[in-house]
Amino acid sequence: MGARFQFLDRQFQTFATKLSDISASLRIEAAVTRNSLDELRRRHVIEGRALESSLEEILRADSRAGARAIIAAIEAAL
């Protein structure tokens, strides 16, 4: 019976480690995405650089308020 619990304990540790890795990955992705929107806002709204059509499509498909605000600010400047 003890060996079975050791096996389950190892399986749980593996699961917990993978879950922790996924959580860290999501936090990093959120930070990168947030920084990316800040960078896009700086480049295309503040500096007035042209927005590539492929990037415009991505921003229009993005449901986040920050992405919508970037598109709205660019359109207001036109």
pLDDT bin (cut points 50, 70, 90) of residue 76 is: very high
41-71 CB burial, b ≥16 within 10 A, e <16: beebbeeeeeeeeeeeeebeeeeeeebeebb
pLDDT confidence band for 56 (50 / 70 / 90): confident
Dist. CA 11–CA 33, nearest whole Å: 33
- What local confidence, expressed as pLDDT, does residue 57 receive? 84
Domain extent at residue 39: 2-77
Locate 38 and state its tokens. Answer: 């800040």
pTM of the model as a whole: 0.57
**Number of domains making up the chain:** 1
